[in-house]
Chains A and B, each alone.
Chain A
């Protein structure tokens, strides 16, 4: 078991190395002169030269990459071209809202999608199953900002039940915090619920056809224990996998959701950085979110051992 864990941990290192190399190389492989594009159309030759030096484009690739990697490993993600603040500092200021949004979405999605998927599999072919599958296709098709505007229009503007937008830290009270996160969380959950529910249904269908489930039923166990104790445990590996992979959707969706609901999180930071062509910020956030994604999926890999002892070798 420890050997499996050690192997999984080590396997993330080359992945992160490729991520770092790629995110860094973009400056060099992008068509055109990145310094001129970042500087904008009104920039003077001096501006472009200044940005070229601050990005290090005047020095050899390997040297720059080495220096950059060394600093990144020490927690220094560089300096914003626009604000001159350290990127680590800027991200640190905005991590709270994004984490709140993503964690609430994760909780809501799993809490809704898994029971719904199990139920659809247990009643396969019924109207309930069809409804769930139809809802899943719709969930995949309606983009997060469309759901966001729809929810905000109905529940904030028309019914006036919840605030339209904004964010209040948890320190200022549970309800002020939660009330502003309900609509963004619902919007962001749509595609994630669709993904998890569909996978849960498929995984459960595989398991429910097996002999030991029939045995459990034959010996007179009630339906719910069979479904949730016997079957779900064995269907859990693909479900947990897709929850981990779906974090990529969650991260991309958070960028958009924060824009729709004016939440001052990391996604909003990225959008502001795009408008200012502040590449070090985009680079830092991309690197950090990729690390988060890799770590979540490392956690998923390690969880396999608990869920399915056969994976231990």
Chain B
């Protein structure tokens, strides 16, 4: 396994460790990530504050560790939500011709809006919260999943085994459940991994430019946004959340690439 798919194993192990850190956050020598201590502002890393303190005296180590929860939650939630919605749209469009044209034109239009701007426009009209960030990023990701699934459905529909099932009188819902859905699973899983990675980056970008989670939430994008004004003199405020974010996204991407290779039947 390790020799055939080193990326898959490395990404999986790394991601499992990060998930563990997120779950065990309160036990990992952290303090309250929102506790203010104005007297200890912008202290460099030390024995008491491993990653230093931010402009409000909050412990950056604790904020970065708790930030893993926000990033992972947003990444997983967007990946699951957009997969389910995209799967529904894609399967329906692939099976119902009347719906296909309309649904796919709508998806084309959505896809023509650069994802970050789409999320920014949505966030400008709602109150900043983790749920709204998840929804905004999901809207931008659904069309990509729908296209992928529709493509798979169309390529399957003409295969002899599907025609045979139709000829044998299988009803459409059963046909979809037994013969179509199982075949969308592999490409969908790979796509969901990539969506998870890109959603974590988008969340950080949204928070960084002030259109994401409320500043009180210790998300990696928020920590970087707070460090932005001071980064030339106190680079450590930006450095630690940036490193955590990059490492997590790298783990998910390695996992995605590994899954793609492992699930591809054409590869030896």
Neighbour of B123 across the interface among A21, A137, A260, A274, CB < 8 A: A274
- Chain B count of residues within 8 A CB distance of the other chain: 45
- Quick check: is A277 within 8 A (CB to CB) of the other chain? yes
- Among B115, B121, B123, B252, the most chain A Cβ lie within 10 Å of the Cβ of B121
- Chain A count of residues within 8 A CB distance of the other chain: 54
Closest chain A residue to B232, Cβ basis: A157
Complex interface: stretch among B62-70, B103-111, B181-189:
B103-111
- Among B110, B113, B210, B235, the most chain A Cβ lie within 10 Å of the Cβ of B113
Neighbour of B113 across the interface among A22, A249, A274, CB < 8 A: A22
- Quick check: is B99 within 8 A (CB to CB) of the other chain? no
What distance in Å separates the Cβ of A168 from its nearest Cβ neighbour in chain B? 20
Neighbour of B209 across the interface among A14, A27, A150, A256, CB < 8 A: A256
A26 touches B121 (CB 8 A): yes
By a beta-carbon cutoff of 8 Å, the part of chain B in contact with chain A is 7, 105-106, 108-110, 112-118, 120-127, 197, 201, 204-205, 208-211, 224, 228, 231-232, 235, 238-239, 242, 245-246, 249-250, 252-254, 257
Chain A residues with CB under 8 Å of B239's CB are: 149
Neighbour of B121 across the interface among A251, A282, A293, CB < 8 A: A282
Chain A residues with CB under 8 Å of B204's CB are: 143, 145
B238 touches A149 (CB 8 A): yes
Q: Report the Cα distance A249→B121, complex, angstroms.
A: 16
Evaluate whether A37 and B105 lie within 8 angstroms (CB atoms) in the complex, with A137-B250, A138-B250, A141-B249 already known.
no
What distance in Å separates the Cβ of A275 from its nearest Cβ neighbour in chain B? 5
- Among B106, B110, B121, B124, the most chain A Cβ lie within 10 Å of the Cβ of B124
Chain B residues with CB under 8 Å of A279's CB are: 121, 124-125
Known: A256-B209, A286-B114, A294-B112. 18 other contacts (CB 8 A): A16-B112, A18-B106, A18-B109, A19-B112, A30-B122, A38-B124, A144-B205, A146-B246, A149-B239, A153-B231, A256-B208, A270-B117, A270-B120, A270-B209, A271-B210, A274-B123, A277-B124, A286-B118
Evaluate whether A289 and B231 lie within 8 angstroms (CB atoms) in the complex, with A16-B112, A30-B122, A143-B249 already known.
no
Neighbour of B114 across the interface among A38, A144, A293, CB < 8 A: A293
23 contacts between A and B (CB under 8 A): A15-B105, A37-B125, A138-B250, A141-B250, A143-B201, A143-B204, A143-B242, A143-B246, A146-B242, A146-B245, A157-B232, A251-B116, A252-B114, A252-B117, A252-B205, A255-B116, A270-B117, A274-B124, A274-B210, A286-B114, A289-B114, A290-B112, A293-B114
Chain B residues with CB under 8 Å of A164's CB are: 232
What distance in Å separates the Cβ of A56 from its nearest Cβ neighbour in chain B? 15
A23 touches B210 (CB 8 A): no
Closest chain A residue to B257, Cβ basis: A137
Question: Which 3 pairs between the two chains have the least Cβ-Cβ distance?
Answer: A18-B109, A252-B116, A30-B125
B113 touches A19 (CB 8 A): yes
What distance in Å separates the Cβ of A126 from its nearest Cβ neighbour in chain B? 16
Closest chain B residue to A286, Cβ basis: B117
Chain A, range 10-51, C-beta contacts under 8 Å to B: 14-19, 21-23, 26-27, 30-32, 34, 37-38
